[in-house]
């Protein structure tokens, strides 16, 4: 009894040992023979609905579009499983009964009459293809077990649908659905699913478009089998068998070419965008038609971006007028190209000045000639306007007030803000940039500018727009206050301004928008960027070659296209506009200075301001001055006599405004010359040399030396000044008269003496270059 027990015990241990060795050998094989990696995918780009709108070949030149799990509809899943492997959910990767049946049939017939490959085994074959043999079949069995251990049934089915061959270089049900039926897998009908299902068994003899009748015959044979097995409803079977098959191989979708190429660099196999195909088609059509009408002006390209402000999503992106245009560089992406922005950055500058308490809409700035270390900006029309309000300066895009405002704010603060708003070229060039950047002397893209203006539409809160559905949780930050944004929106939405296109007449039903134009130096780029509560649209026009065109301007070329785009995608929308926020109030200010009214201000105008932020300086543009009885001389408190004088109100003008009015022979009431017997006045009030700038270094070309301008500011009692170079008399000039000189190399002393004997000296250094 004991001997038998021990004998039986040894048998059990021997059996367990064999099983253990078998499992150990199996796991050793798993370690020695890891699963091959899945093949590379075709990159596909989809619109907001998930429709494939652009596709690229895989690295091995296959159309292998990845089918996601949620794209496997119950209909597709059931049809494929019933045809290929109806025991799929019940076996461990291999169907032993099917394999035994196939083995005996092959042995007795002497040829392969029945296969036994499960869906899992077919996946294994697609991952590691090779010539069919019994050894390959054994390897497939092993790989099938590997797949079942690592993946779920749903994932294995997904892998099968991703790699199943459909003829030529088409692999996967998604590629077949897109290229044969121009639809996604979940939109396939039962007839279309079954038509595709019969191709993988004979991909070379059943070619869609060439063998459609034979494909229909095979399809209907399987549908009849499904009818007999009562797998699908009778009505569904009948409809499927009656459905004609007119499919053929189409070209892969190539919509949205510029953005697709840009997004492809992410390396993701599927890129879901927020592009609205309907809006995209409209923008492409409008832009293409519009540019064709500009050809006679030698303007050949344009680009546009549309952002839905309600979701902060990019719903249209057009990089050129015609991607297929090889003559004018249609494949260049004008929306991402770095260009000079013209005046498009001015709204941000003025918004920041508002938040710093430096300006309000009615604040007055002088628009007269200035010179900052040799930089003398000019307005677009080469004219000066004298005193202007900030809102006038912005709506009329005046350059000199913008440069003055940037100098007042500080260019470094402005550069830092732009850098934080994804202006990459500005960030890279920050050490090179000067005051000219506010007039376009920097590099930006249409993507950056459109995102900036979308921030104005979001009441001053900036967020980089979502180009893909993976971008939906991007962080946001406040760039300007809601109050500053409201003031900008109010200014930029006025239509009575010079950049309103002269040839635009279709304004009756146009939605209300705020917009800003820009024209780069040399008329190489024309911009117009507008927004309302619903959309922000950015438009660029020009030539990719960089050639300037005399007729190219933001107002006359870019803005009409902007208006057409708004008229098309947001037609007749006047329902919503930006409301005055709680942190903005209204106050009375002096119309002459934009400051709080002083005791001598006779009139006032209303102005928006931000309490506790906006400046509270009181206006003193009128000053009571003591003059002689005949008004020939003026007095200060030190020299004023006890009798024989009177007090009069005089409007005080800055020196640059005095020079501007004198140059234009404008009459204004001047303060009489100061009492010549006064000694106190000679202690100060010497002329201020504005150009050249003290301690500056000037580089001058030897072959074509450019003279330097001598500019000074002097008191109202001065009529003539005298210039000295290196202590030698150079020239006498009326106040405001333009004077130029060509300096010698090395240190140069410049002196200016007014007709009252007051003097000012500055030193500069001059270098001549070859």
Query: 343, 528, 614, 716: which one is catalytic?
Result: 343
CB 622 within 8 Å of CB 347: no
Between the CA of residue 296 and those of 292, 325, 564, what are the distances in Å? 8, 17, 20
How far apart CA 263 and CA 261 sit, in angstroms, is 6
Instruction: Give the three-state DSSP class for 24.
Output: helix
Question: Crossing angle of helices 277-292/559-569, nearest 10°?
Answer: 150
Q: b/e for 354-391, b at 16 or more Cβ within 10 A? A: bbbebbbbbbbbbbbbbbbbbeebebbeeebbebbbbb
The residues pairing with 366 across neighbouring beta strands, listed in sequence order, are 387
Is 260 a residue of the active site? no
**Four-point Cα dihedral 193, 195, 199, 202, nearest 10:** 140
**Could you tell me which of 763, 689, 675, 672 has the C-alpha nearest to residue 723?**
689
What does the block give as tokens for 720?
A: 């003539």
According to DSSP, the β-strands at 52-55 and 688-691 are unpaired
CB 622 within 8 Å of CB 496: no
Q: Which helix (H) or strand (E) holds 634?
A: strand 634-635
According to DSSP, the β-strands at 759-769 and 728-734 are unpaired
CB atoms within 10 A of CB 475: 7
Cα angle 57, 63, 68 (rounded to 5 degrees) comes to: 110
Is 599 a residue of the active site? no
How far apart CA 273 and CA 55 sit, in angstroms, is 13
Instruction: Give the three-state DSSP class for 10.
Output: helix
The residues pairing with 32 across neighbouring beta strands, listed in sequence order, are none
Secondary structure in 3-state letters for 316-357: EEECCCCCCCCCCCCCCCCCCCCECCCCCCHHHHHHHHHHCC
The residues pairing with 699 across neighbouring beta strands, listed in sequence order, are 767
Q: b/e for 730-743, b at 16 or more Cβ within 10 A? A: beebebbeebebeb
Q: Where are the alpha helices (DSSP H) in 293-437?
A: 346-355, 390-395, 399-409, 411-420, 424-428
Instruction: Give the three-state DSSP class for 689.
Output: strand
How far apart CA 420 and CA 476 sit, in angstroms, is 11
Between the CA of residue 404 and those of 117, 188, 372, 392, 398, what are the distances in Å? 79, 64, 10, 15, 11
In the chain, how long is the greatest CA-to-CA distance?
Answer: 149
Secondary structure in 3-state letters for 718-729: CCEEEEEECCEE
DSSP tag of 537:
E
Query: 58, 71, 84, 417: which one is catalytic?
Result: 84
Sheet holding 708-713, edge to edge: 688-691, 708-713, 739-741
CB 629 within 8 Å of CB 645: yes
What does the block give as tokens for 356?
A: 């710093």
CB 297 within 8 Å of CB 308: no
**Could you tell me which of 493, 566, 533 has the C-alpha nearest to residue 310?**
533
What does the block give as tokens for 98?
A: 């099917």
Place of tokens 């992410």: 266
CB atoms within 10 A of CB 684: 8
Active-site annotation, residues: 84, 343
């Amino acid at each position: 009894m004991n001997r038998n027990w021990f004998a039986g015990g040894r048998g059990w241990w021997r059996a367990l040992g064999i099983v253990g060795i078998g499992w150990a050998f199996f796991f050793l094989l798993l370690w020695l023979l890891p699963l091959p990696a899945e093949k590379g995918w075709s990159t596909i780009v989809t619109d907001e609905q998930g429709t494939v709108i652009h596709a690229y070949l895989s690295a091995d030149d296959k159309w292998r579009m990845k089918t996601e799990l949620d794209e496997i509809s119950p209909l597709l899943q059931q049809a494929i499983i019933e045809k290929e492997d109806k025991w799929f959910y019940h076996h461990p990767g291999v169907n032993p009964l099917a394999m035994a049946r196939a083995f005996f049939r092959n042995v007795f017939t002497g040829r392969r009459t029945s296969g036994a490959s499960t869906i899992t085994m077919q996946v294994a074959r697609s991952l590691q293809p090779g010539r069919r043999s019994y050894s390959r079949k054994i390897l497939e069995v092993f790989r099938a077990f590997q797949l079942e251990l690592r993946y779920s049934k749903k994932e294995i089915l997904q892998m099968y649908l991703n790699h199943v061959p459909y003829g030529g270089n088409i692999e996967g049900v998604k590629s077949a659905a897109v290229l044969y039926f121009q639809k996604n897998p979940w939109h396939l009908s039962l007839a279309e699913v079954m038509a595709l299902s019969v191709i993988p068994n004979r991909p070379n003899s059943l070619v869609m478009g060439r063998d459609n009748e034979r494909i229909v015959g095979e399809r209907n044979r399987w549908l009849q089998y499904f009818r007999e097995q009562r797998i699908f409803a009778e009505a569904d079977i009948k409809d499927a068998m009656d459905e004609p098959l007119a499919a053929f191989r189409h070209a892969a979708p190539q919509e949205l070419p510029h953005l697709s190429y840009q997004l492809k660099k992410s390396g993701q196999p599927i890129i879901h965008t927020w592009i609205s195909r309907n809006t995209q088609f409209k923008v492409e059509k409008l832009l293409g038609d519009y540019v064709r009408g500009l050809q006679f002006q030698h303007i050949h390209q344009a680009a546009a971006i549309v952002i839905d402000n309600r979701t902060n999503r990019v719903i249209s992106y057009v990089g050129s007028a015609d991607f297929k245009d090889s003559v004018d560089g249609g494949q260049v992406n004008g929306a991402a190209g770095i260009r000079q922005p013209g005046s498009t950055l001015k709204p941000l500058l003025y918004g920041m000045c508002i938040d710093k308490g430096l300006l309000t809409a009615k604040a007055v700035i002088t628009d007269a000639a200035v010179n900052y270390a040799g930089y003398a900006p000019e307005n677009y029309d080469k004219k000066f306007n004298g005193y202007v309000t900030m809102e006038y300066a912005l709506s009329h895009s005046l350059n000199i007030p913008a440069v003055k405002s940037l100098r007042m704010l500080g260019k470094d603060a402005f550069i830092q803000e732009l850098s934080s708003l994804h202006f990459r070229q500005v960030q890279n060039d920050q050490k090179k940039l000067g005051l000219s950047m506010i007039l376009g002397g920097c590099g930006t893209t249409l993507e950056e500018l459109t995102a900036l203006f979308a921030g104005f539409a979001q009441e001053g809160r900036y967020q980089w727009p979502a180009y893909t559905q993976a971008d939906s949780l991007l962080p946001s930050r406040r760039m300007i206050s809601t109050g500053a944004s409201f003031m900008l929106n109010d200014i930029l939405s006025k239509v009575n301004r010079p950049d309103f296109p002269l040839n635009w007449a279709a304004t009756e039903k146009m939605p209300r928008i705020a917009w800003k134009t820009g024209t780069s130096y040399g008329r190489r780029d024309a911009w117009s960027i507008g927004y309302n509560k619903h959309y922000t649209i950015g438009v660029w026009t020009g030539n990719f070659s960089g050639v300037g065109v005399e007729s190219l301007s933001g107002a006359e070329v870019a803005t009409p296209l902007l208006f057409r785009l708004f008229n098309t995608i947001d037609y007749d929308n006047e329902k919503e506009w930006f409301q005055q926020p709680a942190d903005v109030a209204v106050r009375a200010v002096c119309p002459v200075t934009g400051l709080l009214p002083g005791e001598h201000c006779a009139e006032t105008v209303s102005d928006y301001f931000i309490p506790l932020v906006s400046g509270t300086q009181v206006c003193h543009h009128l000053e009571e001055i003591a003059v002689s009885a005949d008004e020939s001389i003026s007095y200060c408190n030190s020299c004023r006599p006890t009798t024989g004088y009177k007090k009069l109100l005089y409007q005080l003008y800055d020196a640059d405004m005095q020079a501007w009015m004198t140059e234009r022979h404008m009459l204004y009431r001047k303060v009489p010359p100061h009492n010549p017997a006064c000694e106190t006045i000679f202690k100060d009030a010497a002329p201020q040399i504005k150009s050249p700038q003290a301690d500056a270094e000037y580089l001058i070309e030897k072959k074509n030396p450019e003279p330097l301008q001598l500019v000074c500011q002097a008191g109202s009692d001065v009529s003539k000044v005298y210039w000295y170079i290196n202590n030698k008399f150079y020239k006498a000039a009326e106040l405001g008269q333009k004077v130029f000189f060509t300096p010698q190399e090395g240190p140069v002393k410049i002196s200016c003496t007014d007709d009252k004997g007051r003097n000012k000296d500055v030193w500069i250094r001059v270098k001549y270059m070859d």
